[in-house]
Amino acid sequence: MTFAVAIDGPAGAGKSSIAKAAAGKLGFLYVDTGALYRTIALYLLREQIDPRDPAAVEAALPGLEVGIEAAEEGQKMFLGEEEVTALIRTPEVSMAASQCSAIPAVRAYLLELQRELARKNNVLMDGRDIGTVVLPDAQLKIFLTAAAEERARRRVRQLEAAGQKAEFEKILSEICLRDEQDSRREIAPLKPAADSLLLDTTGETLEESVQRLVEMVEARLREQGTRL
């Protein structure tokens, strides 16, 4: 029997970094579902398709080939044969991902892929609706968040480390807009699952947040008497 940890939370809360590191410590497969939506968003932008146009986006899906590959350095994303892992982390792609992820056809396109990964592996899977929609039967559900200002500061540091210019106020505005879009959309809005545990990382270092997550998983494994 496999064990699934569903992690939801707003943009910039550190879900990917924290979940990836925790998965490595636990020996779980880390699945960044946001990267799946970002990969679709990159494709739409390249093809000059409006990510807010349901009909146009749905029409594009049959010609789209999204691939995911686990590697020691982390999850790799592919569009066809092209690795796009580093290309899907721009603010433009992030906003387009939020917009196209509200389209039912996009979510349906990716749903079975995500569930199949959880059926075959012990997973730490993060996104916006993992505990509420994708893996409603996950053994542990966590809502991971941080204050908007802290998320903006983290994003600025991340972009600057990658050699990109970043303005705090602009990033903060984008994060607040993304929060509003994600929480108000009709299809799979961002919200904590009723049985989720809160993990607020405001003021914590990455290492502290990773350790807290690992301890939460280990505690649930002990509660259920699960051996991996």
Q: Tell me, what DSSP letter sits at residue 52? A: T
Check if the beta carbon of residue 57 is closer than 8 Å to that of residue 105.
yes
Q: What angle do CA 111, 178, 76 make, to 5 degrees?
A: 50
Backbone angles phi, psi at 101, to 5 degrees: -70, -15
Q: Which CATH architecture has domain 4-224?
A: 3-Layer(aba) Sandwich (3.40)
Helix ranges (H only) for the chain are: 15-26, 33-46, 54-60, 91-100, 104-120, 148-161, 168-184, 206-224
- The pLDDT tens digits along the chain (228 residues) read 899 999 999 988 889 889 999 999 999 989 988 899 999 999 999 999 999 999 999 999 998 999 888 777 778 999 999 999 999 999 899 999 989 988 999 999 999 888 988 998 899 999 888 999 999 999 999 999 999 999 999 889 988 998 888 899 999 999 999 888 888 877 778 889 999 999 999 999 999 999 999 999 999 999 988 766
Closest CA to 140 of 10, 11, 19: 19
Reduced to 3 states (helix: H, G, I; strand: E, B; else coil), residue 4 is: strand
Query: pTM for the complete prediction?
Result: 0.78
Tokens describing residue 57:
């986006």
